[in-house]
A and B are shown apart, each in its own frame.
Chain A
Amino acid sequence: MPQTGTTATAATDYLETRRHELRKMRMLMIDGNLTTNLRSLEGGVSARAHHGGYWGFSSVPGAGGPEQVAQVVHQARSNAQAMGRFGARSTLALPGDSYVGEHRFSGKTELTPAECNERLQALHSFCKQRYPDVRSTRFLLADEHHSKWLTTSRGGQSLSSIQRALCYVTLMSNNADDGSPIELSHPISWKGSAADGDLSPEHLAPQIDLLYQHLQAKRHAVPARGGMQTVVLAPALAGMLAHEAMGHPCEGDIVLGGAVTAGLLGQRVASELVSMVDIAHTWKGQEVMMPVYVDDEGSPARDAVLIDKGVLSGFMHSRETAERLGQAPTGSARAYAPGDEPLVRMRNTVILPGTSSLDTMVAGVDDGYLLVKTGNGQADSTTEFMFSVTLAYEIKGGKLGSAIRDTTVSGSAIKVLQSVDAVSDDMHWDAAGYCGKKQPMVVSMGGPALRARAHLGGQ
C-alpha cells in the first residue's frame, strides 16, 4: 500500500494515493488463426490532491515505492496550488466515511496460454464440424484483473480487486438473397479469469446451437418497419436499457452538467412496474459480477436506488458530486487505469425482476418485435438513448415471425420506461462490455424481459 504522504496539510485539504495494477489477456482466433495473443501488465502510482477548491493529479508508472509516492504527492499538491491562477474558490468538504479493509478475488488458478489456445481451437473445430455451412468463425477470449491499494487523508485504507472474463463467439454466413455477409455474436461473461468459466464445447453447445439457429433465421431477415413499435426486450437487453436509458443520466456529474434528471427527483419517470438499482456488491445474498466494496476515493460503497416503483429516487455520487447536490456519497467514484483519476461510474446496474413470463409477454403483442441481442449503446443528457439491435424477430398475432435486419432502438428513456406494461420474472446478468465516458470501465448490467413502446429504425 502507498505508505507516506497521505496526511492532509495546510497546503492540501484532501489527499489520496493509489497504487494500481491492471493485468489483461486477449486472444482472438479467426477461422482457427490466432491473430492476437497478448498479455499486458500496467502498474503505476497516483496522487490526487484537493486544495483551495481545485484538484491536482499526478501519476507515474512503477511499483509505487516511497520515492515514487512522494514524487506524485508533491506534483499533485503543486498542481492543485497552481490552479489558484484561476482565482479563489471555496474549498469542498468532500463528505463521507472512510473505508478500511481488503477484498481480494479468489478464483481458480489462471489458465496458461496453451490451455487458452486449446479451448479456442476446440471451439473452432466444434463449429467447423457441426456447422459446415458457416463461412467464418471468430472467438475472442479476454480477461482483466484490477487491483487497487488506496490510502486517503481521511483515514481510508483499502485493497480492492475486480476481475472479469469474457468470450465472444461470432458466426458468419451469407444472406440468402444477395450473398452479402451476415454475422451474429454471442457474448459470454463471468467473474474471474478465463479459468473460472467453462469454455468446453460440451458446455457451450446449447448456446452455440441457438446462435447458429438465429444466424440461419437472420439469413432470411426482412427490414424492420421504422417508427414507434411495441417491443419486448429479452432479458439480455434490459441491462443495456438500464445502463444507457437512465443509468448515465443518474450519474452525479452528468446531473450537475444539466441532465434532465436534475429536476426530476421524486417524480414519476417510469411505470410503477420498473425499479432500477445500481448495486454495489451483493444482490440476494450473492456477490455480484463487479463487486465494489470501496470506491477509489475510499468511500464505502452502497447500493444506489435510482428508480423505485417508477419514481426517480437517487443518483450515483462521488464525494464532490454528493456535496454539490446535497446528498450522500454512494461509493461510485472509480478510475480505470493507473494514470486515471476517479470519476462517477456505474457498477452493477439492473432493472429488478417482475412477475410476468416472457412467453406471455410475447403472446400479448399483436404487432411488434422481440428484441433479442444488442451490440452497443449510447446515452444523452436529454435521456434520449439508443442501442443497436443485432437480432430481433417480428411478432404477429402473438407469435414470432421473421428475423429482421440489424436496426437500432431508441427513444426518450422516460417515455419508454413509462410505457412498460409487463416485466418478466427472469434475471440475466452481463459483464462483457466496457462503459465509455472519459475513461473506459468494466461494469455489469442486468435485468428481466420488458414490454414497452420504443422507436425502431427501419423503412
Chain B
Amino acid sequence: MNLQHIAEQALAALRQEGADASQATVNTSALTELNITHSEPSLLRSTQNHKLSLVGIWDGRKASTELSDLSPQSLTAAARALRGDAAAAPQDTAHAVSSGQQTAITRGPMEADLGALTDAAHDILDFRVKATPTMNIEEGAVSHIRSETQMLTSGGSHLQSTLGWYGVSVFGTARGPGPDGQMRTSSFNYTGGETEDLRAAPASGRFGISNMMQELTRSVATQGVAECFGGKFVGDVVLTPMAVATLLGWLQGQVGDMALISGSSMYRERVGEMVASPLLSLASRFDAPGVAAMSADGFVAPPLQLLQAGRLQALTPTLYGSRKTGLAHVPTASNGWELAAGATPLADIVRGVPRGAVVGRLSMGNPAANGDFSGIIKNSFAIDGGAVGTALSETMINGNVAQMLRDVVAVSTERIDTGGWCMPWVRVSGLHFS
C-alpha cells in the first residue's frame, strides 16, 4: 500500500471539491502482542489498522473526518461529505494548514521478533515466581508495533515517519495475610514503557517493573492516616516518577489550546516568569520510542525546553490556537518529555521528610481550573521521622497543583525512563493529609 499516493489522492479529491486548504494524514499500523492474564500467558494477537484523517477548509470554514476505508471511492465520498460538513461550520479566519514543512523519519525495529516477545514474557513471569510470588499479574503485555504515517498539506508540507518499537506493561495486585491472619488484597498498580531494543535488558528490570511488583507485595497490610499518624496533618510527599508525570500533565494542559483559547490558563501571561521551583527543568524528547518529532497539524517539532530552572519558556498553542490568540505557535509531538535529574539521592530525600508519604500514584479527578485538587494517594508508604514505614490506605491529600510545582524542595538523582517519559522522584512540602 503506497500511503503517499493515498494522501495525494485525498488532497486531489479535496482540491476537486474546491477546498481552499487541506491536510491528509494516512497511517497504517501493525501490532503483535502477547498477553498475560492472571499470571499466565493467555493470548497472542495480530491486528492491523488503517486510518485516513482529512481536514478541509472552505472560505474559513473547517471540518475534519477520519475513516478506515482507503479506497479511491471512499476518498471521493469523504471529500464530498467534508465539504458539506464545513459548509455548516462558522467562519473562522484562524483555520489554516501548515506550509513547506518537510521531514522523513525512519527508526526502530520494523518486524516483530516473536522469540524476543516470548522471552520477555517468560522473564516477567519467572521474576514473579522467584521474587514476588504473592503478586498476581492481572494483565501483562509485551508487544511490537510498526507504524507508518504520511502527512501532506495543500501548503506543500510533507511529513513522513516509519517507526517500530516494543512495549512492555504489567498491571496487578498482591495478596497475602494481614496482621489478623485474614487474606487481604493490595491496591492495584501498573507500569510499563517503550523501547526500540527489547533484548537490551531483562524486561522485568525495565521501566520500574520489578520495583513496582516488589512494592505491591509489601502493600497488602495497610493503615490509614488515623492509625498511622493519629489524624489529619500537613506534611510532605515524595512523588514517584509516575505521580510526577501526572502533575506535569496538568501543566502541559495549561499551556495548550483549550486553556489558552478559553482564557482559563493560569500561565498565559507568564512566559519568562518563575512558575515552578528552580529545581524543575522540563524538556521534550520527541525522538522517544514510538514518537515522531512532528505535530498533528503538520509541523516539524523541534526540541523544546518548557521549563528551565522553574522559568516558563513557552506556551504550546497549535497553529489554530496561535492564530486565535495571537500567541507564538510552538509545535509539539504526541509524547516524549523528560524532567532533569536533581542533585539529591532518593534515600537522602526520604530521610529529610519528618512526616509524610512516598506517593506511588495519584487517584483524583481533573484539577479545578485554578489548580485545586484532592485525591487519594495510591501505592504509597508512610514516612515518619525520615523512615519509610507501613503502606497507606484510604489517605487523601489536598492541595493546589500550581502551588505544588512551586513547593518542590528536592529532586532525585535517580530517574525512571519509560521511553515516553523520564522522570525523577520529587519532594513537595505543605500538603494536607486526611
Give chain A's interface residues, CB within 8 Å of chain B: 30-44, 46, 54-63, 75, 79-80, 82-83, 85-86, 89, 112-118, 121, 135-136, 138, 172, 175, 178, 180-183, 224, 226-227, 253-254, 256-260, 263, 338-339, 341, 374-378, 380-382, 384, 386-390, 405-408, 410-412, 438, 455, 457-459
Q: List chain A residues, Cβ under 8 A from B320.
A: 35
Check if A388 sits within 8 Å of B232, measured CB to CB.
Answer: no
Task: List B56-73 residues whose CB lies under 8 Å from chain A.
Answer: 62-69
- Specify the chain A residue showing the minimal Cβ separation from B262: A136
Check if B84 sits within 8 Å of A175, measured CB to CB.
Answer: no
Report how many A-B pairs have Cβ atoms within 8 Å. Answer: 259
Check if A121 sits within 8 Å of B90, measured CB to CB.
Answer: yes
Q: List chain A residues, Cβ under 8 A from B432.
A: 226, 458-459
Q: How far is the CB of A272 from chain B (nearest CB, A)?
A: 24
Q: List chain B residues, Cβ under 8 A from A55.
A: 35, 42-44
B365 contacts which of A180, A257, A388, A411 (Cβ < 8 Å)? Answer: A388
Provide a sorted-by-A list of 8 A–B residue pairs whose CB atoms are within 8 angstroms.
A30-B261, A31-B262, A33-B90, A33-B94, A180-B369, A180-B370, A226-B374, A406-B365
Q: List chain B residues, Cβ under 8 A from A412.
A: 394
B394 contacts which of A43, A257, A455 (Cβ < 8 Å)? Answer: A455
Q: How far is the CB of A150 from chain B (nearest CB, A)?
A: 18
Task: List B255-283 residues whose CB lies under 8 Å from chain A.
Answer: 257-258, 261-264, 266
Task: List B154-209 residues whose CB lies under 8 Å from chain A.
Answer: 172-175, 183-188
Check if B365 sits within 8 Å of A32, measured CB to CB.
Answer: no
CA distance in complex: A458, B49 (Å): 46
Q: If A386-B375, A411-B394 touch, does A39 touch B65 (CB 8 Å cutoff)?
A: yes
CA distance in complex: A50, B375 (Å): 41
Check if B187 sits within 8 Å of A382, measured CB to CB.
Answer: yes
Check if B44 sits within 8 Å of A181, measured CB to CB.
Answer: no
CA distance in complex: A62, B81 (Å): 20
Q: How large is the interface on B (under 10, 10 to 19, 20 to 34, 35 or more residues)?
A: 35 or more
B434 contacts which of A56, A259, A457 (Cβ < 8 Å)? Answer: A457
A455 contacts which of B40, B69, B187, B434 (Cβ < 8 Å)? Answer: B434
- Whether, in the assembled complex, B296 has its beta carbon less than 8 Å from a beta carbon of chain A, the answer is no
Q: How far is the CB of A203 from chain B (nearest CB, A)?
A: 21
Q: List chain A residues, Cβ under 8 A from B376.
A: 384, 386, 408, 410
Q: How far is the CB of A6 from chain B (nearest CB, A)?
A: 18
CA distance in complex: A121, B91 (Å): 12
Q: If A33-B324, A181-B263 touch, does A56 touch B45 (CB 8 Å cutoff)?
A: yes
Q: List chain A residues, Cβ under 8 A from B287.
A: none
Check if B90 sits within 8 Å of A34, measured CB to CB.
Answer: yes
A63 contacts which of B69, B365, B378, B434 (Cβ < 8 Å)? Answer: B69
Q: If A226-B396, A386-B364 touch, does A258 touch B90 (CB 8 Å cutoff)?
A: no
Q: List chain B residues, Cβ under 8 A from A374.
A: 365
CA distance in complex: A175, B369 (Å): 10
Q: How far is the CB of B367 from chain A (nearest CB, A)?
A: 8
Q: List chain B residues, Cβ under 8 A from A257.
A: 38, 136, 138, 172-173
- Whether, in the assembled complex, B88 has its beta carbon less than 8 Å from a beta carbon of chain A, the answer is yes
Q: How far is the CB of B149 from chain A (nearest CB, A)?
A: 15
Q: How far is the CB of B287 from chain A (nearest CB, A)?
A: 27
Q: If A384-B187, A410-B396, A457-B375 touch, does A116 touch B261 (CB 8 Å cutoff)?
A: no
Q: How far is the CB of A44 from chain B (nearest CB, A)?
A: 7
Q: List chain A residues, Cβ under 8 A from B257.
A: 35
- Whether, in the assembled complex, B2 has its beta carbon less than 8 Å from a beta carbon of chain A, the answer is no
Check if B45 sits within 8 Å of A57, measured CB to CB.
Answer: yes
Check if B232 sits within 8 Å of A390, measured CB to CB.
Answer: no
Q: List chain A residues, Cβ under 8 A from B229.
A: none
Check if B68 sits within 8 Å of A56, measured CB to CB.
Answer: no
CA distance in complex: A178, B434 (Å): 26
CA distance in complex: A389, B368 (Å): 10
CA distance in complex: A226, B90 (Å): 46
B41 contacts which of A75, A86, A118 (Cβ < 8 Å)? Answer: A86
Which of B48, B86, B366 has the most C-beta atoms of chain A within 10 angstroms of its own C-beta? B48
Q: List chain A residues, Cβ under 8 A from B136.
A: 257-258
Besides A39-B85, A79-B44, A263-B183, 8 new A-B residue pairs in contact (Cβ under 8 A), listed by A number: A33-B324, A39-B65, A56-B44, A61-B48, A83-B42, A381-B185, A381-B186, A382-B185
CA distance in complex: A227, B86 (Å): 51
Q: List chain A residues, Cβ under 8 A from B367.
A: 406
Q: List chain B residues, Cβ under 8 A from A254.
A: 138
Check if A408 sits within 8 Å of B42, measured CB to CB.
Answer: no
- Whether, in the assembled complex, B217 has its beta carbon less than 8 Å from a beta carbon of chain A, the answer is no
CA distance in complex: A438, B364 (Å): 19
Check if A57 sits within 8 Å of B85, measured CB to CB.
Answer: no
A61 contacts which of B35, B68, B370, B378 (Cβ < 8 Å)? Answer: B68
CA distance in complex: A377, B363 (Å): 8
Check if A60 sits within 8 Å of B187, measured CB to CB.
Answer: no
Check if A37 sits within 8 Å of B86, measured CB to CB.
Answer: yes
CA distance in complex: A30, B265 (Å): 14
CA distance in complex: A377, B366 (Å): 10
CA distance in complex: A378, B232 (Å): 23
Q: List chain B residues, Cβ under 8 A from A381.
A: 138, 173, 185-188
CA distance in complex: A89, B45 (Å): 18
Check if B47 sits within 8 Å of A40, measured CB to CB.
Answer: no
Check if B68 sits within 8 Å of A408, measured CB to CB.
Answer: no
Interface residues as binary, B86-101 with A (CB distance below 8 Å gives 1, 0 otherwise): 1111101010000000
- Whether, in the assembled complex, B313 has its beta carbon less than 8 Å from a beta carbon of chain A, the answer is no
Task: List B387-409 residues whose CB lies under 8 Å from chain A.
Answer: 393-394, 396-398
Q: List chain A residues, Cβ under 8 A from B49.
A: 44, 61, 339
Check if A136 sits within 8 Å of B263, measured CB to CB.
Answer: yes
Q: List chain A residues, Cβ under 8 A from B264.
A: 136, 172, 181, 183
